[in-house]
Amino acid sequence: MRLADSLLTAVHKGHTRLVEQQWKHSKGDRRTLVWPEAALNSSLTGKKQCNICGWRGHAFDVVNGTVEHSEAALCPVCGSISRDRFLYWCWVRRTGYDAQAKVLETSPRMPNLYRERMQERVDYVASDYDESMHRAFIKLDLQDIDLPSDSVDVVLTPHVLEHVPDTDKALAELFRVMKPGGHVFLQIPVPQAKTMVPLEPEYHGDMTLVYFRFGWDVADQIRRAGFAVDTLVTSELRDAAATGKSPWTHEGPDCDVEDLIAGADPSTMTVVADAEQAARHSFRPAYQFVTFDCHKPR
């Protein structure tokens, strides 16, 4: 046992040194590099992995009482939860790497170390609006974005649009500030098949009011703003949509998963992660990870 432990320790140290050198000198896609902090804190035999920082272990930290939830499965290094990792996953797989790309992320909840690492990868700015739960580099209102037209290459926006009073105005502003060929990765809860206004006041964890409960038809609303749209999902959601029946049960009024799946059209879905990838990075349950790739034509 002592020999095995010594060998494992030596391998871990060697891996950490290699990662440090790669981070300092790599000229490849830095978005996919393992952070030195993640290598130091990883278990090389772990089956769970954070695709943002590269941490590997036997299980993510449990938050909100469960692991399989978009707001659970906390990475112990970068602080990402499941939905953060899926948004990042979509960005990396849908756009090529450009170290000079101007990237805006709206209301990221990860700590300062995440933002520092992002700035080392791209020309990155984080924004927030009400600043009640966290503060970013700049304050922005999606309905009136204080940025020049055609100035941003990528927008990462996790679970923000449902808290904006005027969806059309926000989409028009996002279209305006995007460079031709740019992408908005719009991640929002899709709790039922068709968009509706909440029947009574609804709040999420940061106590911001929900103005809309979006459905699959939000893709048409995005197109009317001028974007081309792809609905990004995991294979498990597309497969469920193909049957028209939900394999999941959901307790509580925040999501009608049976209606969501019954109203889904698998032909409109683009699979970006298979079942094995979803399990490794905790992109589960699949119906909580819908992300729209909104592409501004050149």
CA distances from 167 to 105, 142, 159, 173 (A): 18, 9, 13, 10
pTM above 0.85, yes or no: yes
Render pLDDT for 118-159 as a digit per residue (tens, 0 to 9): 999 999 999 988 655 566 789 999 999 999 999 999 999 999
CA 155 to centroid of chain Cα atoms: 11
Q: What is the pLDDT of residue 252?
A: 83
Q: What is the β-pairing status of strands 228-234 and 269-273? A: parallel
Contact 173, 150 (CB under 8 A): no
Contact 261, 241 (CB under 8 A): yes
Grouping H, G, I as helix, E, B as strand and the rest as coil, residue 284 is coil
> Which residue's structure tokens are 């959901």?
250
Render pLDDT for 94-118 as a digit per residue (tens, 0 to 9): 999 999 999 999 999 898 999 999 9
Contact 234, 288 (CB under 8 A): no
The letter for the amino acid at 223 is R
- Annotate 246-259 with b (16+ C-beta within 10 A) or e (fewer): bebebeeeebbbbe
Confidence of residue 1 (pLDDT cuts 50, 70, 90): low
- How many CB atoms are closer than 10 A to CB 199? 8
Domain made up of 70-295: CATH architecture:
3-Layer(aba) Sandwich (3.40)
Domain boundaries, the chain: 70-295
The letter for the amino acid at 251 is E
Q: Check pLDDT > 90 for residue 47.
A: yes
